[in-house]
Amino acid sequence: MMNEDRDSMQTRTAVARHNTEVNQSGRHVPINLRQSGSTPIELLISTRVRKSPYWHLSVEAGCWRATVYNRMYHPRNYALPEDGGAMAEYHALVNHVTMWNVAVERQIQVKGPDAEKFVDFVITRAANLIKPMRAKYVILCNEQGGILNDPVLLRVAEDEFWFSISDSDIEFWLRGVNVGKGFDVTIAEIDVAPVQIQGPKSEALMTDLFGPAVSDIPFYGLMEGNLNGVDVIISQTGWSGEKGYEVYCKDATLNAETVWYGVLEAGKAHDLMVIAPANHRRIAAGILSWGQDIDQEVSPFQCNLAYQVPRDKEGDYVGKAALEKAREDIEAGNSPYPLCMVGIVFGGEPVTDYANDFWLIYDGAVESKGSQGGNDAIGYVTSPWFSPELETNIALCFVPWHMKETGTALSLALPAEYGGERVNATIVNVPFRPSANPNSRDVKKANQ
């Protein structure tokens, strides 16, 4: 029996060749378009993967599935499939209030007399425009203009910034940059771990926890707070498109339980549910996920983040020359990129779980080119899900630059678990549905 299983796996692997039709000439390492489905093996996770101070609390709250993010365990499901799964968590988010364990947003502190100058050199936006006790969504690029990370950047003091990072270990890169530059700063990860409080009832819950001053926090504003004796930083930010906050627990190794249980107790009056980070809602908001939608070989001009590259920023920064050259080429009608990101709606069975692969996109609707649509794959989906409000599947995806206009007809090859058929797709504007704070971390409507 074991030999038969091994033979079957080898056969599947041989059939699931890497798709080479999609033009990825701008990349050194192509996106893996091997449509091989789920992983039929047991994953070994040892002490090489960190447990956050909230990990045991997530397990206690019912976490039954996790991934690895920033070399840490990252909860991905609490509600069981028979209880509605991820879509039950979605319902709690858009109707009530939810708490997420997001300790994987590791906090990299840059502190010292040259903190502002150093930060200004590694981000594309102007650091001096971020005042103390304010934050911004920013990107850090390499010399070629590829996105290394897209954190929320908190300025907690005149001489202190926290990079609340996405899934790439930017601390080492920051240290390497400063070896050559010699700014008077210290760079280190600190023992601060956030939870996100997201949903329409989040302000009411946070007011119960921290008082009426919460209502005065502007979007991307910060406030100091204390929860049952634990000092925290509060920001009005989030990864959902709903009204929400993040609570950054200081000395988290010691204080995580106090913060977690404090939120749970206050949340009883507001129908609080502990859920995983809302991949389904952030897609609807057009919020990008580093490592899934973008990486170090994707330019901000490809993924509608051109607004992160201001024309009037003074001084040099990492990637500036490459980004300015790319903008000049685009404005001259000569895009340096074969693909760009768009949003699509598409048919088929509702997509209610994470995709195992980057699904392939074809030119033309199924009806316009026979039963199968176009024969050659031209792009791929990065983040698909079903939108209950729109009553259709939605996705972020990459298509050829010249095909990015809204209304363009495409087709999409669904995997076996969703019927395995080719279905129609249409390019639409992003975000797919309104957010509580428009233009927060969303994909803009046009490639600027």
**In the chain, what are the domain boundaries?**
16-46+338-448, 101-190+299-336, 192-270
Crossing angle of helices 202-210/252-267, nearest 10°? 120
Query: Dmax of the chain from CA atoms?
Result: 67
Average pLDDT, the chain: 92
> pLDDT tens digits, residue range 243-292?
999 999 999 999 999 999 999 999 999 999 999 999 999 999 999 999 99
pLDDT band at 11 (very low <50, low <70, confident <90, very high): very low
DSSP 164: E
Cβ atoms 110, 161 nearer than 8 A: yes
Name the pTM for this structure: 0.93
CATH, domain 16-46+338-448, list 2.60.120.460, 2.40.110.10, 2.40.160.40, 2.40.30.110: 2.40.30.110
Secondary structure (3-state) at 43: coil
Q: What is the dihedral of CA 412, 288, 78, 211, to 10 degrees?
A: -150
Sheet of 186-189: strands edge to edge?
134-137, 152-157, 160-164, 107-111, 186-189
pLDDT band at 86 (very low <50, low <70, confident <90, very high): very high
> pLDDT tens digits, residue range 298-311?
999 999 999 999 99
Nearest to 242 by CA among 442, 427, 443: 442
- The amino acid occupying position 17 is R
Nearest to 295 by CA among 391, 224, 398, 208: 398
CATH assignment, 192-270: 3.30.1360.120
CATH assignment, 101-190+299-336: 3.30.70.1400
C-alpha to C-alpha distances, 438 to 93, 130, 176, 285, 429, nearest whole angstrom: 17, 19, 35, 9, 14
